[in-house]
Amino acid sequence: MSTGNGPLYLGFDLSTQQLKAIVVNTDLKTVAEAKVDFDQDFGAKYGIQKGVHVKDQTGEVYAPVALWLESLDLVLERLSKAMAPLPMSRVKGISGSGQQHGSVFWNSQAEELLRGLDPAKSLVEQLEKSLAHEFAPNWQDHSTQKELEAFDAELGDREKLAEVTGSGAHHRFTGLQIMRIKRVLPQVYANSTRISLVSSWLASVLMGAIAPLDVSDVCGMNLWDIPNQTWSERLLALSAGPEGAADLRKKLGEPRMDGGGSMGAISSYFVSKYGFSPECQIVSFTGDNPATILALPLRPLDAIVSLGTSTTFLMNTPTYKPDGSYHFFNHPTTPGNYMFMLCYKNGGLAREKVRDTLPKPEGGATGWENFNKAVLDTPPLDMSSESDHAKLGLYFYLRETVPNIRAGTWRFTCNNDGSDLKETTEGWPKETDARAIVESQALSMRLRSQKLVYSPRDSLPEQPRRIYLVGGGSLNPAITQVLGEVLGGADGVYKLDVGGNACALGGAYKALWALERKDGETFDELIGKRWTEEGSIEKVDIGYREGTYQKYGKVLGAFEEMEGRLLAEEEH
């Protein structure tokens, strides 16, 4: 491939299970990729599984920060090789993303250690000493029930909190996590001079100085007042105690409200060790979901479904319509726009659990062959005729967030119009579970996004125009088809060619826009001019199917009632 002599842009994604890096040229074409898989590369050393430690007794889920430091050196070593013969010195700008909500606690030595990084030593050798806490809470953590109740109550109720911060209280949101750390590990909190999000932490290491939080990622904390674009003093005081609000504000710093421009040049450590140019600029890093909506120019009514460890449903919208069950974030690049998001904890790993109840395919290339066959051999809602009962299931191996239902598996049936909803105790064949888990994940997204979608064309029912799939699960044709059947998509369902690397790609595009934008040029304007469908996306399903879409529509009420009954059981 000819890459000319123009500048290159590097995007990282520090997600739950991997650290990925992708380099693009000014035509948005990928020229090199590399990754570190935490379990494969460091599982034995750090005793992690799927990138994290899990403490079932408390609901804590956390990752060792040292693992990420080792991974950064390793991914850059791999990337230098993947780039050859292109020199790293061609990289003009770096941005990227981090798993949202996770936080890193720095101690008082951090700034000095970051400034003085020695290329003769590794990052982990030098920066392990910069931490006030060796672990970063992960977004799957659900140890903060007490804090969740306090946050929901603080401004009156959950809806009021959502109006102010874009979200009701969620266990994983950083304000709650900080409040818990202060309660259970007061010394760690006291020793923390600065607190970063995962995104700004990675930017800090690359810059050799503590980077500000990002305009979009800051909205995943339940601390940022979105209508007024400032820290909420009341919520800071709740998290850190009435006397501690000012101190917490100092630890967090003021976020950077411009998603573009440069925050500073790369640290000399990376110049000496990996051959970056000293002129290479670090652009603000954002959350992995905000970065995903930057992987292509996203029009209103288009939706992205990210099938990673978590499942997320994302839209770019000019309307701020907060609600306690979903999320609004500042758009990462466009002031006045927002990202709408639904986030499910029981995404890829829950589908894997159901897959693993089926016999292992012999010689299968992906390991998903039997799961896919079961999905495709089962009719929608497992109804072979109109008189059959529709089957609905919920498969939560972790406490879910949307809605906040305990871990467990439930199977219900109802009539084709949603009436006569009953829990079934006899169960059903394992093959039915394969279809039911994908349907239930899609039904939940359809239920909760209905207020944001409208009819894309005359006479079609309300639905997204295009649905773009990203993340590891987007490689799966059976999952893809069911998403199209349930969610529709008047112009079809598309997979991003970059598959599981969408957030890293969004990071690379962000770096390009940040450093090449003309006065007032938006991300969508600049990227829209250079982006081509060919080579970027592939149509994988027709999306809207008349009849099938309506069939799922008729059981949406029953689906909501099923969730409602399980929630009510927990309240009693």
Ligand X SMILES: O=C(CO)[C@@H](O)[C@H](O)COP(=O)(O)O
Ligand Y SMILES: Nc1ncnc2c1ncn2[C@@H]1O[C@H](COP(=O)(O)OP(=O)(O)O)[C@@H](O)[C@H]1O
Instruction: Give least dist CB 363 to ligand Y, A.
Output: 15
DSSP string, 309-374: SSEEEEEEES-----TTSEEEE-SSSTT-EEEEEEESSSHHHHHHHHTTSPPPSS-SSS-HHHHHH
Instruction: Give least dist CB 217 to ligand X, A.
Output: 9
Please say which residue, 276 or 328, places its beta carbon nearer to ligand X.
Answer: 328
> Considering CB distances under 5 to 8 angstroms, the limit depending on partner class, which of ligand X, ligand Y, none binds residue 484?
none
Instruction: Give least dist CB 382 to ligand X, A.
Output: 29
Instruction: Give least dist CB 356 to ligand Y, A.
Output: 11
> What are the strands of the beta sheet with 60-64, ordered from one edge?
53-55, 60-64, 135-137
Encode 105-119: b = buried (16+ Cβ within 10 Å), e = exposed: bbbeebbebbeebee
Please say which residue, 16 or 378, places its beta carbon nearer to ligand Y.
Answer: 16
- Residue number of the CB atom closest to ligand Y: 472
> Considering CB distances under 5 to 8 angstroms, the limit depending on partner class, which of ligand X, ligand Y, none binds residue 316?
none
Closest CA to 270 of 348, 350, 336, 206: 206
Instruction: Give least dist CB 396 to ligand X, A.
Output: 15
What's the token pair of residue 441?
């994940």
Please say which residue, 15 or 138, places its beta carbon nearer to ligand Y.
Answer: 15
Please say which residue, 88 or 470, places its beta carbon nearer to ligand X.
Answer: 470
Residue that is written with structure tokens 């199977």 in the block:
411
CA 161 vs. chain centroid, Å, equals 21
Instruction: Give least dist CB 250 to ligand X, A.
Output: 26
SS3 51: coil
> Considering CB distances under 5 to 8 angstroms, the limit depending on partner class, which of ligand Y, ligand X, none binds residue 468?
none
Residues that bind ligand X (CB under 6 A): 15-16, 99-101, 139, 172, 220, 287-289, 308-310, 312, 343
Residues that bind ligand Y (CB under 6 A): 15-18, 308-309, 348-349, 351-352, 366, 368, 471-473, 475-476, 479, 500
CA angle, 341 as apex, 335 and 345 as ends, to 5°?
A: 145
Residues making up the chain, counted from first to last: 572
Closest CA to 71 of 98, 95, 32, 53: 98
> Considering CB distances under 5 to 8 angstroms, the limit depending on partner class, which of ligand Y, ligand X, none binds residue 312?
ligand X
> Considering CB distances under 5 to 8 angstroms, the limit depending on partner class, which of ligand X, ligand Y, none binds residue 464?
none
Please say which residue, 346 or 372, places its beta carbon nearer to ligand X.
Answer: 346
Please say which residue, 94 or 434, places its beta carbon nearer to ligand Y.
Answer: 434
Measured between its terminal Cα atoms, the distance across the chain in Å is: 63
> Considering CB distances under 5 to 8 angstroms, the limit depending on partner class, which of ligand Y, ligand X, none binds residue 343?
ligand X
CA distances from 410 to 145, 377, 426 (A): 23, 22, 11
> Considering CB distances under 5 to 8 angstroms, the limit depending on partner class, which of ligand X, ligand Y, none binds residue 139?
ligand X
> Considering CB distances under 5 to 8 angstroms, the limit depending on partner class, which of ligand X, ligand Y, none binds residue 172?
ligand X
Please say which residue, 125 or 369, places its beta carbon nearer to ligand Y.
Answer: 369
Please say which residue, 99 or 267, places its beta carbon nearer to ligand X.
Answer: 99
β-strands 53-55, 230-231 pairing: unpaired
